[in-house]
Structure 1
Amino acid sequence: MTSSVTVPKIRIRNLSKSFGNNQVLRNINMDVPEGTSFVIIGGSGSGKSVLLRCILGLMVPDSGSIEIDGKNIFDLSHSQRDEKLEQMGMLFQNAALFDSLPIWENVAFALLYGHRKKHKTITRLEAHEKAFRVLELVGLDPERVGDLYPDELSGGMQKRVGLARAIVSKPEIIFFDEPTTGLDPIMGAVIDGLIKACVDKLGSTAIAITHDMASAQRIGDQAAMLYQGELIWQGQADKLLEADNPYVHQFTHGLRHGPIKVETKIEIKGQGG
């Protein structure tokens, strides 16, 4: 009788990263199953962004491994690593659109200028048509916005364009960096709904970093919390607010008092009289 072991889409083992004397990540171990939407929460300076950059291969850790489809990305050649990167999409915190390109060309950027072999012969007309289809998928009217430039769109519309760009090449893995930052609660909920719908439609594996608890629960299947570079909790995203870990409880409920200490120096001077 044989048994099969499912290999996680992303497997992280004993990952550490420091900058001088500042230990940013400490012995991180994490599995992200294929097709899962995984949310990483934590405060400023907790190591979320550094972890994301390591997974993307933009930073090399001091120790440990990151496997994608069972292969350590740091053992791959440059061409093999580029191939893995081309399987990924990214929605940046501030959309990070190209100001000098019209919206449709921003969306189609990877198709027109990327290095994927299967896209090398795509024509501008084909890229234009595909960009228009994806703009519709994220709830934008391509006929109205396709030829506009980023500074002509609202923040919420720019986020939608960024999402369209992230999914246009049907990536296997999509990263979301603080997807609701700068948006009002209603638009944040709209973006989260679009993210969840697009990820489910593509069957992609997703990793999002956020400090927005409502967003984390809307888009996440699983969640983890980083605190001072350590992974202190993992579980179901819909159980975040019920976690009995005191650090998670304080963070998710926005409590001033608890094990997480925030230094403040406020001096109130009374008026002399």
Structure 2
Amino acid sequence: MSTAPKIRIRGLCKAFGSKVVLDGVDLDIEKGTSMVVIGGSGTGKSVLLRCILGLIEPDAGTIEIDGQNILTMSRLQQEAIRRQIGMLFQNAALFDSMSVGDNIAFGLIAKQDKSPKTRLSRSQVTDMTGELLTQVGMDPSVGSLSPSELSGGMQKRVGLARAIAGQPEILFFDEPTTGLDPIMGAVIDGLIVDCVQKLGSTALTITHDMASAQRIGDQAAMLYRGKIVWQGKASDLMHSGNPYVDQFTHGRREGPISMELRK
């Protein structure tokens, strides 16, 4: 008997007024694998992620996690499921008013507020954030700094540390290499792969960085005009044989993908 994918999406639709963004998306992400979704700007990658996270309500379709359709659950049930998810935002999205250490511990402290019996002492939290900083290649002393004192690459590492703090079963990465130089992008990708493998998590990354997609992904899918037009191994991205994927991955002007320009 085959087990259900960790995440199964069927017939997912979302429109904003007359603009159809997701038009019947079907996608399976197997447990313990890393899926990368590629596509141009405005193709619905971020909307797909936000639907899964519950930040946007889809118009139709199902989103199953461990075989349960989260769209038909109560709010409390949805919150319990989504506590399994860690998220690295595109711009790290650190809280300026908090120290680096408090940013990393934010999710842990929030969980403790709901379960006072498992409350950690301040020294325990500091030790944990120090360990997490070490995991992402940073010195624990960075925990006392403010986010504004960090470079873009360092902020990404802190965002990654915060994402893995709760040892989530699912990790989402939103354009993890945007704004980084190629070397730092490769460093962040390596840290992501290491963290995902160490936790045994299921990962979903959205990106338009082809080098990053191949480094991070086991599987890949391309989203175009609201539909998945190709799915396969991430290692096949540059030679998929699919005209949409080939045009996108090689950056060709000519092909089936047409750029919509405002007049």
Q: Which TM class, normalised by the smaller chain length?
A: over 0.9
1:76: how far off?
A: 1.0
Partner of 1:128: 126
Give the counterpart letter for 1:131 in structure 2: T
Q: Going by fraction, where is helix more abundant, 1 or 2? A: 2
Partner of 1:93: 90
Partner of 2:81: 84
1:58 aligns with 2:62: no
**Where does structure 2 lack aligned partners over 5 or more consecutive residues?**
none
Residues 1-273 of structure 1 aligned to structure 2 (within 5 Å): 4-114=1-111, 117=115, 120-143=118-141, 145-263=142-260
- SS of residue in 1 equivalent to 2:144: coil
CA contact (8 A) 1:111 1:119 kept: no
- SS of residue in 2 equivalent to 1:146: helix
Give the counterpart letter for 2:14 in structure 1: K
Deviation sequence 1:114-134 (CA, Å, 0-9, x none): 366388512222111111001
1:265: how far off?
A: 8.2
Over alpha carbons, which structure has the higher Rg?
1
Bigger Cα displacement from structure 2, 157-166 vs 16-25: 16-25
Deviation sequence 1:17-71 (CA, Å, 0-9, x none): 1111111101111110000100000001101001001111211111110000000
1:166: how far off?
A: 0.1
Q: Structure 2 length normalisation: TM-score?
A: 0.96
Alpha-carbon RMSD: 1.5
**Where does structure 1 lack aligned partners over 5 or more consecutive residues?**
267-273
**Residues matched between the structures, number:** 262
User: Aligned in 2, Cα 1:60/1:74: closer, same or farther, shift over 3 Å?
Assistant: same
Partner of 1:270: none
Write the distance in 2 (CA, Å) between the matches of 1:121 and 1:229.
Answer: 44
Write the distance in 1 (CA, Å) between the matches of 2:117 and 2:129.
Answer: 14
User: Aligned in 2, Cα 1:77/1:265: closer, same or farther, shift over 3 Å?
Assistant: closer
- SS of residue in 1 equivalent to 2:191: helix
- SS of residue in 2 equivalent to 1:187: helix
1:170: how far off?
A: 0.1
Give the counterpart letter for 1:45 in structure 2: G
Give the counterpart letter for 2:134 in structure 1: E
Q: Structure 1 length normalisation: TM-score?
A: 0.93
- SS of residue in 2 equivalent to 1:239: helix
Write the distance in 2 (CA, Å) between the matches of 1:79 and 1:120.
Answer: 20
